[in-house]
A and B are shown apart, each in its own frame.
Chain A
């Protein structure tokens, strides 16, 4: 599915240079549920951003489905992203002015999909994450768990083959967190790759592989049968 080769990412300001990722080599096969763990500032989110093509590496290679992503321009990346990748954020990032259904629909608006089909897929996604009864509600009227379910719905509605989740349970209590994790696992079981950043070992246990990062380097990788 994706392959990172000797990938390095350095943040520079006028006086300080911070190496966020150093010589990272990761290969993620199709159908895997991977969890990235590590202490604060170890480069987890940077790694996820690079994988999600929101950030570009300074050196090294990044192959997505066999294509070299490193040399692509912004519009090519945007195309690749909207076709293949769904995002889930710790802080949900729903648009306050849009309803639940509209927020989910947003992910389809930048694809050429006829209105009727779009509606149907939004319905389907809402059913999948169990938020259909709240379709007309605004985000501010929902609990945190419900908001994250909407975010998951939005991430899956375009049927991506990779879902990137940045601490999806970070803002949720245990019960709601488990609920979201079960949803991610179900998605993975239906064939979608999931790459998740988490602090919580309990939630990392849902993954089939755990990648430990420290100071921008992969320290251990443990593959476990589910």
Chain B
């Protein structure tokens, strides 16, 4: 019996090659897309679960709140906190802080600037990374030790043992020997951590003492290991008392800034929604994971529906066989089994094909998602189990309906060719509903894709308030050897041919970071003082960036008070005050809309005692400068001329290829600092980078929308064949009565326009709702116009027409005699 099922199945597949190919390709593409997404979702949701004792490892995050604002969570915590936390809470077994930096390293003749991570001595107690050389008990316990990754060791020391080797590292301008104490296995891709070099942490490693001592500065990724996992709740509950004891100003929201450390398990941080992520790898997005998982299932659904439609389209060809089998005594159950065997066989073949497709598409998929997924067959990350489930699902779900329809046929009608009547019965044909569902999904994806692309393009072209092209940022000017020579560097850079201007600043568009201070305005209560973003800059900042003054004047050396008061006596400095520029967004502080009205206004800056707060006088108002992605809101900002804490030089240059300019700047740098690694970042490239995630998301939606619409077309084609076959006689009669080919084509095409139109009406509101939510996450967003909706609906309709018209044309062209002989 099974042999017979198999023979019939295989020969049927072999006989109708076109349908088999359509079926196989449709299902395989759907399954492959679903598998790829499953692999990615699995990777995203298992971050750091590989860490030994992961359930006991917690990241200490910062929860903050400003008066009248929502609570925000930051991935970093204050550096000063962890040692005190360990003393106060005995449940903490060990802790480590991680601070990213860069060091010049030398081994033999090789000199390279290397990203490093500074860690506490408890590092390996907290994160028991698998070691290839050395021991976790002794490594990183002394200040002159260093731990490196497997790939770093291979690159620097080749096949020689790495432990015991000495690297010369430049620390604060001083070259010091460090001994390799451990080699750890390279970190897997599903980890929030990423580093190749670990070095011991010293407070002196921070840029400014405030970064170590200030409870309100969130600078380090802080990780603790608890003795028992469940203690986290008790520790979190004890944080009120902890802050009250060590940092009373932060204990209450009314004090202007509320702050609580909070423990969160390391495995839960990747997909967390954070104000700023401290994870070393790009932060995940729970909503994207959910959205893609849904898309994966939808695509599998579409592929299954396509299969159902194609299989049902073949029903009439199999009806005689079914009738005969029934006549010979086959029961309904036996027939169902037979057709389920057939669909399972197709599903199995499609599954095998899907695996091949996954293997081929993985590099491209990895590129799109910036991932390093690897195809594994077995184990938890293996694709075999999901594949088997998928084959089972498609085999049963896809075979069920055709099997049911066929098994329900009455033998007399099936044999005499009157099955058409049976197949036609039923009020709303399920197949129509399936096509509507399919197209709804495809149109939904297409609409989302169009809107995402439009938004990303809008973001890229948004007015930054300055000229991003022709601007290069050179970071790293706080290095010990550069710091005292910043002015000489500036002069040297200005001498480089085609450089138009150069300036220094604390923040620039290529980095991250933000300094916020309280702005105490006359008549505003102490506790309600708004926050202002503080931007120390050098002379010529506006000129170099190409910002616009909309009222007042630029900062200038001509006015003594335009420079920050660097005085020994803080009270004296506060009294002298400083002139500053504010942006348009800060106008609301002074309750004015006319920028000119803000000139001459004053406020006091900082959260120190009142006598120490520096008075700022507004001498100019500038157009808002966007230093971050347009996802972020423009915040009220203050620009003052200062010399301290400046981290980068920005260079404006004339029409020269960027690479050429970078090498000229490097040459100038090397003359001053031959041993200090040089780095340069193009601002326009950095801006493209802001929207990398959105761009990728757009590509992904485009890919899956494309797959969905192709699958829909295949399914629709099947339905068109089915319908045309059912209406062959009608078409023949119409032709005999004088209908032309175009009339027939129109008749058939119209029949399929209806479900697509209904699908469009279903997809639109869903897409509108989803995209409105998504767009609301941006401070700069496109309006939701009807255009992408109409475009997606129209494209779907167009594709449906082409698909159907092709077959309809063939049917309509055939001789009416042939058509009438059909039954």
- A binding-site residues for B, Cβ under 8 Å: 45, 49, 52, 54-55, 74-75, 78-79, 81-83, 87, 89, 93, 95-98, 102, 105-107, 109-111, 154, 158
For residue B475, CB closer than 8 A to chain A, the reply is no
Partner of B329, one of A55, A81, A95, A96: A81
B331 touches A109 (CB 8 A): no
Interface residues of B in 319-335 (CB under 8 A from A): 320-321, 323-332, 334
CB B527 to nearest CB in A, in angstroms, measures: 81
Task: For B324, list chain A residues within 8 Å (CB).
Answer: 93, 95, 106
| Contact status B328-A49, CB under 8 Å | no
Contacts of A52 in B (CB 8 A): 327
B417: nearest residue on chain A (CB-CB)?
A91
Assess whether B7 is interfacial by the CB under 8 Å rule.
yes
Asked if residues A97 and B332 are in contact (CB atoms below 8 Å), the reply is no
The minimal Cβ–Cβ distance linking A109 to chain B, given in whole angstroms, is 5
Q: For the complex, what is the distance from the CA of A93 to the CA of B318, rounded to whole Å?
A: 12
Q: 6 closest pairs, A vs B, by CB?
A: A82-B329, A97-B11, A54-B412, A110-B329, A107-B328, A49-B412
- In the docked arrangement, what's the CA distance between A21 and B326, Å? 24
**Does B1 have its Cβ within 8 Å of any Cβ on chain A?**
yes
CB within 8 Å of A: which B257-282 residues: none
* Complex CA–CA separation, A98 to B8 (angstroms): 7
Report A-chain residues with C-beta under 8 Å of the C-beta of B12.
Answer: 97
The answer to whether A87 touches B327, judged by C-beta atoms less than 8 angstroms apart, is yes
Contact with A along B324-365 (1 / 0, CB 8 A): 111111111010000000000000000000000000000000
Q: A54-B411, A93-B324, A97-B15 are in contact. Are A106 and B329 (CB under 8 A)?
A: no
In the complex, which residues 268-326 of chain B have their Cβ closer than 8 Å to any Cβ of chain A?
Answer: 320-321, 323-326
Chain A hits for B321, CB < 8 A: 95
| A contact residues around B411 at 8 Å (CB) | 54
Asked if A106 meets B320 with Cβ closer than 8 Å, knowing A54-B411, A93-B415, the reply is no
**Interface status of B785 (Cβ within 8 A of chain A):** no
Q: Is the CB of B332 within 8 A of A110?
A: no
State in angstroms the CA–CA spacing of A74 and B409 once bound together. Answer: 12
What are the residues of chain B within 8 A of A98 when measuring CB–CB?
Answer: 4, 7-8, 11
Q: How far is the CB of B270 from chain A (nearest CB, A)?
A: 53
C-alpha gap A4/B327 in the complex (Å): 21
Partner of B331, one of A78, A83, A96: A78
Q: Within the assembled complex, what's the spacing in Å between the Cα atoms of A20 and B7?
A: 40
Q: 19 A-B pairs, CB-CB below 8 angstroms?
A: A49-B412, A54-B411, A75-B332, A78-B326, A78-B331, A81-B329, A87-B327, A93-B320, A95-B321, A97-B11, A98-B4, A98-B7, A107-B329, A109-B4, A109-B330, A110-B329, A110-B331, A110-B334, A111-B329
Contact status A97-B329, CB under 8 Å? no
Residues of B within 8 Å of A110, CB to CB, are: 325, 328-331, 334
- Within the complex, the shortest CB–CB distance from B360 to chain A, in Å, comes to 33
CB-CB < 8 A to A102: which residues of B?
4, 7
Check if B4 sits within 8 Å of A106, measured CB to CB: yes
Q: Give the distance to chain B from A69, nearest Cβ to Cβ, in Å.
A: 15
User: Which A-chain residue is minimally distant from B317 (CB atoms)?
Assistant: A96
A97 to B330, Cβ gap below 8 A? no
User: Complex formed: what's the CA distance from A52 to B412 in Å?
Assistant: 10
* Chain B residues, CB < 8 A from A55: 412
Q: Which residues of B contact A75 (CB under 8 A)?
A: 331-332
Give Cα distance in the complex from A54 to B328, angstroms. 11
Q: Chain B nearest CB: distance from A121 CB in Å?
A: 14
A78-B331, A110-B331 known; 14 other A-B pairs, CB under 8 Å? Answer: A52-B327, A54-B410, A54-B411, A54-B415, A55-B412, A89-B415, A96-B15, A98-B7, A98-B11, A105-B4, A106-B324, A107-B329, A110-B330, A158-B328
- Cβ A78 vs Cβ B329 within 8 A: yes
Q: Is the CB of B8 within 8 A of A95?
A: yes
Rounded to whole Å, the gap between the CB of A161 and the closest CB of chain B is 14
Chain A neighbourhood of B330, CB < 8 A: 78, 109-110
Q: How far is the CB of B6 from chain A (nearest CB, A)?
A: 12
CB distance from A63 to the nearest CB of B (A): 20
* A166 nearest CB across to chain B (Å): 9
Question: Could you tell me the distance in whole angstroms from the C-beta of B290 to the nearest C-beta in chain A?
Answer: 46
Q: How far is the CB of A155 from chain B (nearest CB, A)?
A: 9
Question: A81 to B327, Cβ gap below 8 A?
Answer: yes
Residues 4-42 of chain B, each 1 if its beta carbon lies under 8 Å from chain A, else 0: 100110011001000000000000000000000000000
Which residue of the partner chain A has the closest CB to B415? A93
Q: What CA separation (Å) do A159 and B323 show in the bound complex?
A: 20
Chain B 396-424 interface 0/1 with A at a Cβ cutoff of 8 Å (1 = within) = 00000000000000111001100000000
Contacts of B416 in A (CB 8 A): 45
How far is it, in angstroms, between the C-alpha of A52 and the C-alpha of B416 when the chains are bound? 14
Q: Which residues of B contact A82 (CB under 8 A)?
A: 328-329
Whether A79 and B329, one on each chain, are in contact in the complex, defined by CB atoms closer than 8 angstroms, is yes
Look across to chain B and name the residue whose beta carbon is closest to the beta carbon of A106.
Answer: B328
Q: Whose C-beta in chain A lies nearest to the C-beta of B10? A: A97
- Which residues on the A side are within 8 Å of B410 (C-beta)? 54
> How far, in angstroms, from A154 to B320 measured CA to CA in the complex?
16
Decide: A54 and B327 in contact? CB cutoff 8 A: yes
Chain A residues with Cβ below 8 Å from B323 are 93
B411 to chain A: closest residue by CB: A54
Residues of B within 8 A of A158 (CB): 328
Which B residue's beta carbon lies closest to that of A108? B328
A167 to B330, CA, bound (A): 24
Q: Could you tell me the distance in whole angstroms from the C-beta of A81 to the nearest C-beta in chain B?
A: 5
B4: chain A residues at CB < 8 Å are 98, 102, 105-106, 109
* Complex: A78 Cα to B331 Cα, angstroms: 7
* Interchain CB contact under 8 A, B325 and A106: yes
Contact partners of A96 in chain B: CB under 8 A:
15
B126, chain A: closest CB distance, angstroms = 67
Rounded to whole angstroms, the CA-CA distance of A111 and B4 in the bound complex is 14
Chain B residues near A74 (CB, 8 Å)?
Answer: 332
Per-residue CB contact flags for chain B residues 88-99 toward chain A (1 = under 8 Å, else 0) read 000000000000
Residues from chain A with a CB closer than 8 A to the CB of B11 are: 97-98
